[in-house]
Structure 1
Amino acid sequence: MDPSLQQVGQAVKRLQWHHHREANRRLAELGLSLAQWDVLRNLHEHPDASLHTLAQLTFQTDQSMGTLATRMIDRGLLVRVAGPGRAIRHRLTPEGEQAHRKGSLLMNEILDTTIGTLPPSDRATLYRLLNAANPTHADADAG
């Protein structure tokens, strides 16, 4: 019997919940939250991103991203730099790069216990199907 749409949605949510719970637990060992690591990851992938861009990439409001960025600047993980015109951009500090590397290793360990157990062809299929079902996927690629 094929699973219902709700069953598939619940399975996606359960896996996401597992990843978030484990990530928060393990990243706390580094003094990071999942939200902070997500900022580090996205800033590593999008150097000199604006606060607004970071908010979009990390699924936050501009206000909450501003508060988080300020805390991360205070911790020495990020710096603000002048961009074109009045724009303010953000960069990782050496400490931020190190936290990103350590956090990435932990995240890979977590994901390896779930998605990593799938054969590569199944992971590729899962990735393709999730992106195909996601109505905001094209927006994420453009950001």
Structure 2
Amino acid sequence: METTVQDVGIAVKRLQWRHHTEMSKRLAPLGISLPQWDVLRRLHEHPEASLHDLAQLTFQTDQSMGSLATRMVARGLIERVEGPGRAVRHRLTPEGDLLRKQGATFVESALADSVGTLTPAERTTLLKLLTKAGA
């Protein structure tokens, strides 16, 4: 039987759902959600990113990113800093950076349970194929 594009699409979605569920479960003891951890990770990679930049990097709308950032500022995980013009930038607080580092261990373990079971060559092939399909 031939593999259909729907078969592949469902398999990708199933893996994404598994990752999201496992990562969320493993991050819960830290008191952060997967979207919050992703913001912390992206701010570490892109210091002083704008809300719009963070929304794009974390696959959110500008509005949902704004709400999430407000909650994270209130919790002391990120802080707002003045940028050029009217731009408001964000950066990690020491507490946010600590949670980013701790969360990375949990996220890595969740991924190791799935794509980590592939050989290095299989992971390379999978990455190439997903990158090609997503281009």
Equivalent in the alignment of 2:56: 56
Mapped to 2, the partners of 1:40 and 1:32 lie a distance apart of: 10
Structure 1 segment 66-85 matched on structure 2, within 5 A:
66-85=66-85
Question: What SS is found at the alignment partner of 1:29?
Answer: helix
Shift of 1:59: 1.1
Mapping of 1:1-143 within 5 angstroms? Answer: 1-135=1-135
Cα RMSD (Å) of the superposition? 0.9
Offset of 1:2 from its aligned partner?
3.7
Q: Which runs of 5+ in 2 are unaligned?
A: none
Letter of the 1:118 counterpart? L
Taking the aligned partners of 2:122 and 2:22, their CA distance within structure 1 comes to 23
User: What is the CA distance between 1:83 and its match in structure 2?
Assistant: 1.1
| Alpha-carbon distance between aligned partners in 2 of 1:61 and 1:77, rounded to the nearest angstrom | 20
In structure 2, C-alpha distance between the alignment counterparts of 1:129 and 1:23, rounded to whole Å: 23
Could you say what secondary structure the match of 2:30 adopts?
coil
Q: CA deviation at 1:61?
A: 1.0
SS at match of 1:132: helix
CA displacement at 1:128 relative to structure 2: 1.1
Distance 2:131 2:3 in 1: 19
Measured after TM superposition, the shift of residue 15 of structure 1 is 0.6
Q: Distance in 2 between matches of 1:129 and 1:100?
A: 29
Normalising to structure 2: TM-score of the pair? 0.96
Unaligned runs of 5+ in 1: 136-143
How far, CA to CA, are the matches of 1:64 and 1:123 in structure 2? 32
| Structure 1 stretches of at least 4 aligned residues deviating more than 2 Å after TM superposition | none
| TM-score calculated relative to the size of structure 1 | 0.91
> Within 1, Cα distance between the matches of 2:85 and 2:78?
21
Corresponding letter in the other structure for 2:85: G
Other-structure match for 1:141: none
Distance (Å, rounded) in 2 between the aligned partners of 1:115 and 1:132: 18
Deviation at 1:124, TM superposition (A): 1.1
- Matches of 2:121 and 2:81, distance apart in 1: 42
CA distance in 1, matches of 2:49, 2:73: 14
How far apart in 2 are the matches of 1:47 and 1:120? 31
3-state SS in 2 of match to 1:133: helix
